[in-house]
Amino acid sequence: MSNLRFAIFLLLAATVRAADTDCPSLNDADNLSQTQLIERLTHGCRYDRLERPVSYTESNGARLPIDVYVRAYIYFMQNLEAHDLQFKIHVLLQLRYLDPRLTFRKVAPKRRQPILGEKQLRDTLWMPHIFLANERDSSLLGKLSSNKSSVLMKRIY
């Protein structure tokens, strides 16, 4: 039985070692297409979309949560219903934040254009969760809103 455990241990150790060397290189990133660059930056060995990005202070290196800036444009506001204190609002929310894990200036210094994308890029990256207190329901362009459909376009510098 101990030989079987040892064999399983060796197999798991080899799998972990193979996963460590499976990380794609960022060498010559200036010559990669936008899709290739974002695939390499967001590979599982470098990036976890479920982990919130952090920033570090220069003075003591303490971990700080990133700042997320929100801009809201109110397009329409329907009258307040006095009996149940409800109203309808059409609003555009723009979120701006810096995820330091996606910075590519050091590996691709000649690349000047930001990386633009929509659904595929959005599904690859971490996104802040939008929470509206006391919300009855919400929709996005006529569709029910979910965490995956809360942003239409991403831009990476």
Calpha distance 6→11 (Å, rounded)? 9
Alpha-carbon distances, residue 118 vs 57, 87, 115 (angstroms): 31, 30, 10
Q: Which residue has the higher pLDDT, 117 or 146?
A: 117
Q: How remote is the C-alpha of 148 from its chain's centroid?
A: 10
Answer yes or no: is pLDDT of 153 > 60: no
Answer yes or no: is pLDDT of 144 > 50: no
- Per-residue pLDDT of 44-77, as tens digits, reads 999 999 999 988 888 888 888 899 999 999 998 8
Answer yes or no: is pLDDT of 138 > 90: no
Which ranges of the chain does DSSP label H, i.e. alpha helix? Answer: 2-21, 34-41, 119-124
**Which pTM value belongs to this model?**
0.66
Predicted local distance difference test score (pLDDT) of residue 147: 47
Alpha-carbon distances, residue 146 vs 71, 128, 153, 157 (angstroms): 19, 12, 15, 26
Q: How confident is the model at residue 145 (pLDDT cuts 50, 70, 90)?
A: very low
Q: How confident is the model at residue 121 (pLDDT cuts 50, 70, 90)?
A: confident
Answer yes or no: is pLDDT of 6 > 70: no
Predicted local distance difference test score (pLDDT) of residue 48: 93
Q: Mean pLDDT for the chain?
A: 78
Q: Which two tokens stand for residue 143?
A: 């569709």
Answer yes or no: is pLDDT of 135 > 60: yes
Answer yes or no: is pLDDT of 42 > 60: yes
HSE toward the beta carbon, residue 140, CA cutoff 13 A: 12
Which residues, in sequence order, are CB contacts of 154 under 8 Å at separation 6+?
A: 115, 116, 117, 118, 121, 122, 125
Number of H helices, E strands in the chain: 3, 8
Q: How confident is the model at residue 143 (pLDDT cuts 50, 70, 90)?
A: very low
